[in-house]
């Protein structure tokens, strides 16, 4: 009887210990599960924030590029307007601007003129490419207008 009682006491202690271990294991697994769920939620939030940040940087980069392109276009427009104003000033003073007629175009115009000149006449400087720049200094600009243009 005494042996049987000791065995029952031992079984009872083991059962109590097992239930204690079962509760501890259940509690530990619940804590681990909550930590994993919280880590997963934090990871998803971090991923969403990172995507928003990437989208923001991409949007700012696109805007930055568009602003730079507009600045470049405005700079080109300003330079072209300056060139037109300089050409108009030269034309008003009676000089020919290189911006109006390129040297190659002027050379071909001068060649056509020499073909129509009488034999005893020739151009002041000639039509050599090295001397074309002198025509920009020597020539006078005339503007002819009518009601249409």
Cβ neighbours of 101 (radius 10 Å): 17
Q: How many CA atoms lie within 13 A of 14 on its CB side?
A: 6
Same-domain status, 56 and 28: yes
Look at the chain and report how many structural domains it folds into.
2
Cβ–Cβ < 8 Å for 133, 87: no
Q: How many CA atoms lie within 13 A of 109 on its CB side?
A: 9
pLDDT, average across residues 66-95:
85
Same-domain status, 67 and 101: no
What stretch of H or E contains 36?
Answer: helix 2-93
Cβ–Cβ < 8 Å for 96, 139: yes
Same-domain status, 56 and 99: no
Q: What digits encode the pLDDT tens for the residues 1-54? A: 555 566 556 556 655 555 556 777 777 777 778 888 888 888 888 888 888 877
């Amino acid at each position: 009887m005494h042996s049987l009682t000791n065995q029952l006491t031992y079984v009872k202690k083991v059962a109590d210990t097992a239930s204690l271990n079962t509760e501890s294991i259940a509690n530990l697994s619940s804590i681990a599960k909550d930590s994993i769920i919280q880590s997963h939620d934090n990871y998803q939030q971090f991923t969403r924030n990172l995507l928003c940040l990437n989208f923001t940087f991409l949007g700012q980069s696109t805007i930055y590029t568009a602003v730079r392109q507009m600045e470049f276009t405005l700079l080109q427009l300003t330079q072209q307007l300056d060139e037109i104003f300089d050409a108009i000033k030269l034309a008003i003073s009676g000089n020919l601007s290189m911006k109006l007629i390129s040297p190659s175009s002027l050379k071909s115009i001068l060649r056509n003129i020499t073909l129509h000149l009488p034999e005893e006449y020739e151009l002041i400087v000639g039509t050599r490419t090295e001397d074309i720049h002198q025509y920009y200094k020597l020539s006078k600009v005339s503007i002819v207008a009518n009601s249409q243009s």
